[in-house]
Structure 1
Amino acid sequence: MRVIINEDATRVAIEAANLIINLIKRKPNCVLGLATGSTPIELYRLLVDAFSNGEISFSSVSTFNLDEYYDMTPGHHQSYRYFMDQHLFSKVDIKPENTFLPECSGKQSAEEVAKQYEMEIKRRGGIDLQLLGIGENGHIGFNEPGSSLASRTRLKTLTPNTLEANSRLFEDGEFQPTLAMTMGVGTIMDAKQVLILATGTNKSEAIGNMLLGSITSACPASILQMHPHVTAVIDRDASIDIENSDYFELSESNRRKL
């Protein structure tokens, strides 16, 4: 696993944006797996800037988001579709028909929606690069601790820990969903490359467990140790629980020299 430790969150976003920009340049019709949350917002802003400057085009890019709240209308301001439109889709030349989220209304079969989502990923040739954040409890997507490490897209119940972490995004008295559709751990592991971002001391324990802990469903992100092409881009605060962080920095320094 490649680990890039940056001084702050701004440098994390720049590093991650450069990796995605270079992929789009190499493969204009690439398939991106995208994530929501506060961590990738600056990354998306940089991608929009790169498009505005004529550096890249999203006209042939396809995207699949990790997750979406269950029974959330696409236009709702708390939906992840709305988030992606606000931060990326509406600001670049991506075709709406090439943007996918595991959207499932209460009138649909979650199992059928999940099956169709997996089939569409395969139909598009698989995900070239999957962007991830990491939860304080080690979850990736909404694959909470205890999730099967071979799981596929499905409906999941969110833990109190995750609900508490996300509560800051909801107004007092506003309904907060407790269920979400999410790519499974196995789905994520099928991506050709994985790019995981983390900033802040609140993510440091999860990052330490992901990199150096046992591979266990107690920390779903730990399965990434078994993926052949993972890049973790983190800030200094998120690295404090990595026992041998100096080695990762030396390794990255030598990589760049080579």
Structure 2
Amino acid sequence: MELKCFDDISELDRYAAQIFADTLKTKPNATLGLATGSTPIGIYGKMIEMYNNGEVSFKDATTFNLDEYVGLSPEHEQSYAHFMKQHLFDHIDLPRRQSHLPSGMVSDLQAECSHYDRMLTEQPIDVQLLGLGHNGHIGFNEPDDELQGGTHIVELEEATRTANARFFDSITEVPTKAITMGVGSILKADSIVLVVKGADKAGIVKKALRGPITTECPASLLQTHKKVVVLVDREAGRLL
């Protein structure tokens, strides 16, 4: 596991974006694992800058997102499908058919989980971007006695819904369920980039990276992966 700490958030975002750009330069048809939430917004901004400057092309790439809310249509302004269009897809040359998110609107959610896993098996992820939840979740894999390896439906913890309530008018509008890539699928990525920002994440960063490997802190399972780059700002990394 490689750890890098940054005093400047813009430099952190640029470094993360450069990892993805370098992957595409080496392998133009690479499969990229993408994340949502506030953490990757600056990273996607840097990717767009690189694309506009002719530094990188996404035209042959394929992307898979980690998760989506159950019950929100792709057109809903708080869906992750909408998020990705707003913050990345509408601004680069990635063909829409080559971007994938699980659907939380289908009638058979279990069939959707199986379908997503089949696609991930057919196109393994070369580099996966992750954020870190306050309770140690990655994707929407919440702390539990045991974790599911493949794509599955998860009941969102109250802490997670509260953290995401800032994006909605009220917490009552935050969905109670999500469909998420499993920890097993995440760990199958060839390389992983974990990005964490903010003083409020310092405790969970230490627990995830230095604490025991346990399903009660899903991110701690990243310690078992052969190639993880952890990028933190000074505040998030202050306890390491």
TM-score per shorter chain, which class? over 0.9
Deviation of 1:31 (Å): 0.3
Q: Which residue in the other structure is 2:84 paired with?
A: 84
Cα-to-partner distance string for 1:208-252 (whole Å, 9 max, x where unaligned): 01111000011100000000000000011001221xxxxxxxxxx
Q: Quote the Cα distance in structure 2 between the aligned partners of 1:190 and 1:224.
A: 11
5 Å-filtered alignment, 1:1-258, equals: 1-105=1-105, 107-124=106-123, 126-146=124-144, 148-172=146-170, 175-242=173-240
Alpha-carbon distance change, 147 to 82 in structure 1, aligned in 2, over 3 angstroms: farther
Gaps of 5+ in 1: 243-258
Deviation of 1:104 (Å): 2.5
Q: Quote the Cα distance in structure 2 between the aligned partners of 1:15 and 1:169.
A: 27
> Which amino acid counterpart does residue 60 of structure 1 have in structure 2?
D
> Which amino acid counterpart does residue 137 of structure 2 have in structure 1?
H
Deviation of 1:150 (Å): 4.9
Name the SS for the 1:12 alignment partner. helix
Aligned length: 240
C-alpha contact (below 8 Å) 1:210/1:219 kept by paired residues: yes
Name the SS for the 2:14 alignment partner. helix
C-alpha contact (below 8 Å) 2:102/2:116 kept by paired residues: yes
Cα-to-partner distance string for 1:119-165 (whole Å, 9 max, x where unaligned): 011222x0000100000111000001116345210000000110111
C-alpha contact (below 8 Å) 2:161/2:171 kept by paired residues: no
Name the SS for the 2:68 alignment partner. strand
C-alpha contact (below 8 Å) 2:5/2:234 kept by paired residues: yes
> Which amino acid counterpart does residue 208 of structure 2 have in structure 1?
M
Which segment is superposed worse, 172-181 or 52-61? 172-181
Deviation of 1:54 (Å): 1.0
Cα-to-partner distance string for 1:54-87 (whole Å, 9 max, x where unaligned): 1111100100000000021111101000000001
Q: Quote the Cα distance in structure 2 between the aligned partners of 1:4 and 1:76.
A: 36
> Which amino acid counterpart does residue 109 of structure 2 have in structure 1?
A
**Share of identical aligned residues, percent?**
40
Gaps of 5+ in 2: none
Q: Quote the Cα distance in structure 2 between the aligned partners of 1:41 and 1:135.
A: 15
Alpha-carbon distance change, 162 to 89 in structure 1, aligned in 2, over 3 angstroms: same
Q: Quote the Cα distance in structure 2 between the aligned partners of 1:40 and 1:8.
A: 15
C-alpha contact (below 8 Å) 2:165/2:171 kept by paired residues: no
C-alpha contact (below 8 Å) 1:196/1:233 kept by paired residues: yes
> Which amino acid counterpart does residue 192 of structure 1 have in structure 2?
D
Deviation of 1:173 (Å): 7.4
Q: Which residue in the other structure is 1:247 paired with?
A: none
Deviation of 1:172 (Å): 3.7
TM-score, structure 1 length as denominator? 0.90
Deviation of 1:16 (Å): 0.4
Deviation of 1:9 (Å): 2.1
TM-score, structure 2 length as denominator? 0.97
C-alpha contact (below 8 Å) 2:197/2:232 kept by paired residues: yes
